Structure 1
């Protein structure tokens, strides 16, 4: 499976591949940081879940590893919402997301090891 740019003449409103991730991230809002789960992502936006409801029109920064993605909440239903990124994700970033989907067990082990190292270094509680 590869990452592709939009197809000309495509039907519907979705023009980019979406990757199903199910990975934790942080949503940075003016009211504070909120943990969230990225359900799926494309180069133009993402669908995520949060423990607290968001409001359409809010601006946010989605923080995932080294990525900081400025976005606007396009729609919100209960604890689920859709974000539209201010700028499309680079192809390299999307390929990194694809790597996560194809190597999930390794990704989870790397995250666990990173959290353990941070804790040992006194960075995390």
Structure 2
């Protein structure tokens, strides 16, 4: 695994992470897939799902109304880490935190259905 999400000096994270039980859509040049966002920060996200892109792949991550361009920093065992090209704005981070707090307590299939409805899937 690479140093995704860590700053220099012993593995401290560069940005605080929020556990994120949200559905995202990842889009590469050739395909799109729905994935689960395991956690997210202003600088990247850890995603879980099937058919994840390989390390080094460029993609777009769409979580609710937040969209970020990024690169897969690592990919193994059904998860991958994405480093965003440009850190998310404070407003985008707050929007995602609100979505997470709204989604807490809902069963995964209800959250997924709601996210799909919001994203127009």
> For this structure pair, what is the TM-score category when the shorter chain's length is used for normalisation?
0.7 to 0.9
- Superposition CA RMSD, Å: 3.0
Structure 2 residue aligned with 1:81: 80
Q: Does 1:23 align with 2:25?
A: no
Task: Say which of 112, 115, 118 aligns to 2:114.
Answer: 112
More relative contact order in 1 or in 2 (CA 8 Å, sep 6+)? 2
Give, in whole Å, the separation in 2 of the partners of 1:53 and 1:20.
20
Unaligned runs of 5+ in 1: 1-9
SS at 1:15 equivalent: coil
Assess if the C-alpha contact under 8 Å between 2:64 and 2:115 holds in 1.
no
Superposed displacement of residue 113, structure 1: 9.5
1:67 and 2:69 matched: no
* 1:23-42 pair list within 5 angstroms: 23-42=22-41
Cα distance, 1:56 vs structure 2? 0.6
Q: Output the TM-score relative to the length of structure 1.
A: 0.73
Q: 2: CA distance between counterparts of 1:64 and 1:81?
A: 15
How far does residue 83 in structure 1 lie from its aligned partner after superposition? 0.1
Aligned length: 110
Distance 2:80 2:11 in 1: 20
Change (3 A) 1:30 1:92: same
- Partner residue of 2:44? 45
TM norm structure 2? 0.76
**Structure 2 unaligned residues grouped into runs of 5+:** 1-8
- Moved >3 Å (runs of 4+): 105-109, 111-114
Question: Structure 1's 102 and 76: CA in aligned 2 closer, same or farther, altered over 3 A?
Answer: same
1:12-55 deviation line (CA, Å, top 9, x unaligned): 34121100012111000112101111110000000001211421
